[in-house]
Chain A
């Protein structure tokens, strides 16, 4: 049950999807609280979300400065304890920069920002984001990024495949991501990063509720 789960939504200066994440999580019955990046603890949170946006202006590289924000030590400890951490878009970029997820996000093939709704396919259900969802399930979820082109070295890629850590793949690769990767998880399956925005697909009035499936799974793992 996702009811009553406490989620810490981290706010860096330059984050902009924090209120959207709170709204979507609360719609699913969770209690979400904004935690400023200067905090050094996550309070009594059951789960952590790093939302989308442009933390520290994305200056240098997306996530490159955010990884040094004080709150990230607490996030790393939380992750090490096996507890659920979700990085959405810029949050995914931060998780890779912080070394909590492997690989990196490069500029989109085509060198343009892309805001559009894409089809995703669940590639693995071993992580907190997709537990209980059948592999091959199609989800319609928006993307919104300039640097969403996932890449990693061949050894890491083989390892991701072997360990079933590719969580979501694009049906029609929009950005040049290696292996059409839209989201991956760590070895424990408790830290997940994805470029698409599930919180933008939690309201039929906005066009899709497919994001609820993912966020509900995440909350239930908390």
Chain B
């Protein structure tokens, strides 16, 4: 049931006054609590009318206000000398030298994608792009972290046929949506991950990250300054799509089954062509210096854009509703103010610059309508026409910044101790590690993802040095209008609900560790992190405990790595049928390569090279894919992460790659050393012989801070010495050659068999 449909369309006329005809529980239908209504009445000094109530309901929704998470998010480290813009703006921005800044942001579009996979994912892409070009940055890369229910075919998959068919429909729809929108809008999709797990069957996750680049001087903030400046709405007209999306979809559990189809009208519909023109027009406006602030219209639409820009600038704003171009007749004020129609921006323009704005927008066939003006005093006033009657009058900051903050009750789950007491290490060893390796390689979460990234333009802009499929993707740092450099960016997005379900604190720290190591494997120094925190229902104390633990884990890892968190997004209510998803914090890490003159070595093995295991020994199986996917065992404790050791490891890996002492490098993560070895062999088309591995536990453990390195025999001694000098354990484990993957006493399969398993995991 869409609350939007339940509101009597007739608004009280005349001046703003207590609306005595309001349903007594209208605020509840809009997702506000009784206490929140009292707070609103206190702010206004009177009861809100329908329009005002609608505006508060979207701005005070969990999605927009972070009311349950903000008290925890404060614990994350967000500063560093190179951070130009931290959390709270549309995107984080870092200075990478040479007059160049990099903007990054990640956001979820989980609930819309569950209901309408293609449009949900497409508009997720559109939304994150606007967050980036709002900052004055040209978007140069998209990445996505996708989590679906099992689509059938895997050994551990016990779901029924209807569920797997639905998950497949969602997975293919989401990938098509990213492809359809991203390719057309002209921004390459260069990196990502796709994982299948039963906990996402009813509640898939679609997290999209965007990276943009800009000359430092073009940096612009979403602020309304200068009384008398015009508020100009750019782009698409406003329709009834997406009304209440943030409150109806993103801030309440999905009912699952047929319940979700009733919410389909709340899913927005995207138009990548409009967005492409909007990007070009907005960047041209910023280059011409004719706007003083700009903000995208995403969740909560015009209400959000007007109140946030006004609040950030410490100003007020008068909005003239009649000037908002509409897609259909008969739209009510609350619909216009809360519509989430896509491809719209709000620019703040000095009146004398308006003719130039119109000229630039006309070139790109982008509509530009003056819908309001900046006023002193901090009040957001909505009128039906200029100088007409007031339909709403509220302090702008009360919408944008003064949503109540909740310290929701937290408690560790009752089963936590029991789960940890169990041990994956006690599982019986496999009779044949080779068949377990093949089962892991053919798991669609591990197997070849080219079925997805072949559908994405990942080469546009001539920047992609390492395409999707490696540890991290690598791009040249280059765009029209940017000073020329030889620098490169490495990007990785990572999450791991298997680990985080077992131990959200340690698991999240391990996710940060893995993501930074992925970036380091390309020779890049990790520079900034953005996070997308996907959790269940915050009204469940265990979920709040998971969030709090995850934030502490992320915080500890980021502090140790001196990695600032420059932006993020929290997605709650990932719950279906009363069951919360596993905690799934996803991180996006951007690293910097100083001299990108040759491609990094990558994971491919070269015949005759010597293989090293760099990092402390690891045999813990808790949370591993081997234990969970192959044995259905979800207990135990995670292998320990030594953050100091991890920092040293990252330094060494970056140095070895930069000095080109290694010809192959791949971290050990999903599926353990066995899968990493196989992936290196498959990529290089050459076998490998390894010895001295302590049984299946060392083979399948996902203990952190471990990397496989391949070096030419002539460099082997230097590699070993280099690592020893840095105090990180290193051990020669074998060499590349032949056509078999052999681990003495444990497994022996041909590269061809491994490749076959790996490349057919997701049957098309």
Which residues of A pack against B, CB within 8 Å?
13-17, 19-20, 23-24, 36, 53-54, 56-59, 112-116, 142, 144, 146, 197, 199-200, 202-203, 205-206
* Contact between A13 and B186, CB atoms less than 8 A apart: no
Complex CA–CA separation, A200 to B458 (angstroms): 11
Complex CA–CA separation, A142 to B454 (angstroms): 11
Residue among B180, B274, B454 with most chain A CB within 10 A: B454
Chain B residue contacts of A16, Cβ below 8 A: 186, 276, 460
**A36 with B459: in contact, given A13-B276, A57-B184 (CB under 8 Å)?**
no
Residues 453-485 of B contacting A (Cβ, < 8 Å): 453-462, 464-465, 476, 480
Residue of A nearest to B461 (CB): A20
- 20 A-B contacts (beta carbon < 8 Å): A13-B277, A13-B365, A14-B277, A15-B186, A19-B480, A54-B186, A54-B276, A57-B272, A113-B456, A114-B454, A115-B456, A115-B459, A116-B450, A144-B460, A197-B459, A200-B462, A202-B462, A205-B476, A205-B599, A206-B459
Q: How many of B's residues come within 8 Å of A, CB to CB?
A: 34
Q: Does any Cβ of A come within 8 Å of B336's Cβ? A: no
* Contact between B457 and A205, CB atoms less than 8 A apart: no
Complex CA–CA separation, A59 to B180 (angstroms): 13
Complex CA–CA separation, A197 to B457 (angstroms): 12
Chain A residue contacts of B406, Cβ below 8 A: none
Chain B residue contacts of A112, Cβ below 8 A: 454-455
Chain A residue contacts of B183, Cβ below 8 A: 54, 113, 115, 144, 146
* Contact between A14 and B455, CB atoms less than 8 A apart: no
Q: How far is the CB of B719 from chain A (nearest CB, A)?
A: 25
Chain A residue contacts of B596, Cβ below 8 A: 205
Residues 503-553 of B contacting A (Cβ, < 8 Å): none
Chain B residue contacts of A115, Cβ below 8 A: 183, 453-459
* Contact between B273 and A203, CB atoms less than 8 A apart: no
Contact residue among A17, A58, A114 (Cβ-Cβ distance under 8 Å from B460): A17
* Contact between A206 and B277, CB atoms less than 8 A apart: no
Complex CA–CA separation, A14 to B179 (angstroms): 16
Contact residue among A58, A197, A200, A203 (Cβ-Cβ distance under 8 Å from B184): A58
Residue among A197, A199, A205 with most chain B CB within 10 A: A205
Chain A residue contacts of B598, Cβ below 8 A: 205
Chain A residue contacts of B722, Cβ below 8 A: none
* Contact between A142 and B459, CB atoms less than 8 A apart: yes
* Contact between A113 and B460, CB atoms less than 8 A apart: no
The interface bits of chain B over 263-282 (1 if a CB of A lies within 8 angstroms of the residue's CB, else 0) are: 00000000111101100100
* Contact between A113 and B459, CB atoms less than 8 A apart: no
- A-B contact sample (5 more), CB < 8 A, given A14-B184, A17-B460, A57-B273: A14-B277, A16-B186, A57-B272, A57-B276, A205-B599
Q: Does any Cβ of A come within 8 Å of B363's Cβ? A: yes
Q: How far is the CB of B724 from chain A (nearest CB, A)?
A: 33
Q: Does any Cβ of A come within 8 Å of B633's Cβ? A: no
Q: How far is the CB of A190 from chain B (nearest CB, A)?
A: 26
Q: How far is the CB of A36 from chain B (nearest CB, A)?
A: 7
Complex CA–CA separation, A180 to B459 (angstroms): 23
Contact residue among B273, B453, B454, B465 (Cβ-Cβ distance under 8 Å from A59): B273
Chain A residue contacts of B273, Cβ below 8 A: 13-14, 54, 56-59
Complex CA–CA separation, A114 to B465 (angstroms): 19
Complex CA–CA separation, A108 to B457 (angstroms): 15
Complex CA–CA separation, A20 to B273 (angstroms): 19
Residues 4-31 of B contacting A (Cβ, < 8 Å): none
Chain B residue contacts of A19, Cβ below 8 A: 461, 480
Q: How far is the CB of A147 from chain B (nearest CB, A)?
A: 12
The 8 closest A-B pairs by CB, nearest first: A57-B273, A16-B186, A113-B455, A54-B184, A113-B179, A20-B462, A19-B480, A115-B457
Residue among A14, A15, A17 with most chain B CB within 10 A: A14
Chain A residue contacts of B276, Cβ below 8 A: 13-14, 16, 54, 57
